[in-house]
Structure 1
Amino acid sequence: MCNEYEQHTSYVEYCKVVQNLALGVPIKETELDMPPGDDIRIGDMAPVIRAAGDNIVELAQMKFGFPPTRAHGPLFNYRSQRRHFGASHRCLVPASAFFEFTGKNHPRVKHRFTLVDAPFMAIAAIWRPGRKGQPSAFAMLTTEPGSDVKPFHNRQVVILRPGDWKAWIDLDEPEEELLRPLPAGSLNVEWQVATPHPTWKQDGF
C-alpha cells in the first residue's frame, strides 16, 4: 500500500488551482504552510487541505497515519469501497508523486507515480483530531487499482482532479462517483532500485 509520497508543490501553484475553483484561502497562510518533502512516510508531519469555512480551504499540518491501537499498528491507508464518509472529517493530501514498491527481497524496486497532465495531485483522505497531546492525523483512502497501477499493486490511493476537490470536501456527490481510479494513461511511472541515491527510469507505457 502507499506508505510514502513526496510533496514539492509550490504554494503559488497551489493558490492558482484554488483560485480557479473559486475557493478562498486564509489571509495569514503563506508558503511556510506548504513545506516540501522528498520522502514523506508514516509518522511524518505534512500539510493537508481541509475546509475552513464557507468556500474557504486551509492547509493544516497533520501526522501521516492514525495512532496505533493495541491490536494494530498505525492506520495510514483506509479502504473506501462500500463506506460512507458523511460523518468523517474529509481532506486532501497535496502530493507531487506517490510510491509503490515491488519485490519481496531487498533492495526492492520503487515506483514513482505522477499525473501526466498536472504538476501535482490531491489524494482523498480523512483526518481525526489529536488526542492526549497527539497531533491531528490523516489516512489516505484507497480503491481498486486502475490500469496504470494494477501491474504494481492490487490497491491504489484515490487521486482527485481539481474539479472534484470541493465535491469531496463538502461531499455533495456520491462517494462511489468520486472515490475511484483515474482512467488508463492518467499516470506516468518511473522506477528505481530502492537505494539511498535514486536514479529514476521511465517505464515503457
Structure 2
Amino acid sequence: MCNLYRLEKNPDAIRRLFAEIEMTLEFPEGIPNFEPRDVRITDRAPIVRFNRDRGVAELVERRWSWPAPGGKPVFNMRSDGREFSRDRCLVMADSFYEFTTPADARQKRKDCWLFRPSNEQPFAIAGVTRNDPQFGEAFTLLTVPPGPDIQPYHNRQIALLGLTKWRAWLDGSISSKEMLQPAEAGELAVAAAA
C-alpha cells in the first residue's frame, strides 16, 4: 500500500490547474507555505475538499491518517464496492512510491520504485476525510486493484484521478464506484528511486 508520495507543485500551480477546469479554488485558512517534498504517514499535507454551500473548492492542510480502534494509522482504505457519497477530497501529489522485497535476500532495505504519469498530465489521489477527536480533520488515500503498470510491484494501487475528473469527484456528481478504477496500461512510468 502507498505509504509515501511526492508533492512538487506549489499552491499557485495548484490554483492554475483548478482554473483550467473552471473551478474556483480558495484558501480558507490562508495560502500555505509548503516546499516540494516527500509526504509520509502522519505528515500534514495539502488536500482539496468541496464547500457545498459556496460551490467552491478549498485547499487546506490536514494530517495524513487517523488512528484505527487498535491505534494503527488508517492511511489507505479499500474502495472496492463502496460508495463514498460525502467527505471526498483530492490529495495533491505528483508521484508516489511503492516498495518491493529485494531479489537479494542479504539486502536489508526494500527496493523503492517511483511512479509518475507517463504523459506528464497532472493527477490527484482520491481520498476521504474524517474528523478524529485527537487530530481533527484527517485524510486517507483510497485504493483499488492494481492496474497493469503497478501489478508487478504491488497487489493494490492508490486511486488516481486525472484533471478532468476532479470536479466530479469533489462535487459527488458521479458515483465513486464508477470513478475509482485501476490505472490503464501505459498510464504510469516507473523508475528505481534513489
TM-score, with normalisation over the residues of structure 2?
0.89
Following superposition of structure 1 onto structure 2, how do residues 94-173 of structure 1 map, counting pairs within 5 Å?
94-103=92-101, 106-118=108-120, 120-132=122-134, 134-173=135-174
Show the counterpart of 2:79. 80
Asked if 1 retains the 8 angstrom alpha-carbon contact of 2:23 and 2:57, the reply is yes
Q: 1:135 to 1:27 in 2, by over 3 A?
A: closer
Q: Is the 8 A contact 1:94 1:120 kept in 2?
A: no
Q: What amino acid is the match of 2:8?
A: H
Aligned CA distance change for structure 1 residues 166 and 34 (closer, same or farther; 3 Å): farther
Relative to structure 1, the CA distance from residue 18 to residue 34 in structure 2 (aligned partners, 3 Å threshold; closer, same or farther) is: farther
Counterpart in 1 of 2:55?
Answer: 55
**C-alpha separation between the residues in 2 aligned to 1:37 and 1:93?**
14
- Partner of residue 41, structure 1: 40
- Tell me which residue corresponds to 2:177: 176
Q: Give the direction of change, closer, same or farther, for the CA distance of 1:34–1:175 in structure 2 (3 Å limit).
A: farther
Partner AA of 1:109 in structure 2? D
**8 Å Cα contact 1:114/1:120 also seen in 2:** no
- The whole-number CA distance in structure 1 between the counterparts of 2:28 and 2:171 is 23
Q: 1:203 maps to which residue?
A: none
Aligned to 1:7: 7
CA distance in 2, matches of 1:83, 1:98: 24
Q: Distance in 2 between matches of 1:127 and 1:65?
A: 9
Alpha-carbon deviation of 1:126? 0.2
Q: Tell whether the 8 Å contact from 1:96 to 1:119 is kept in structure 2 after alignment.
A: no
Look up the SS of the partner of 1:173 in the other structure.
coil
CA separation of 1:177 and 1:28: change in aligned 2, threshold 3 A = closer
Q: Is the CA contact (8 Å cut-off) linking 1:34 and 1:47 kept in structure 2?
A: no
Q: How many residues are treated as equivalent by the alignment?
A: 189
Any gaps of 5 or more consecutive residues in structure 2? none
**CA gap 1:139/1:28 in 2 versus in 1, 3 angstroms:** closer
Q: Does the CA contact (< 8 Å) of 2:122 and 2:162 recur in 1?
A: no
> Which amino acid in 2 is paired with 1:181?
P
| Aligned partners of 2:147 and 2:185 also within 8 Å | yes
Structure 1 residue 129, shift from structure 2 partner: 2.0
Structure 1 gaps, min length 5: 193-197, 199-205
Aligned partners of 1:111 and 1:19: how far apart in 2? 32
Q: Which residue of 1 aligns with 2:18?
A: 18
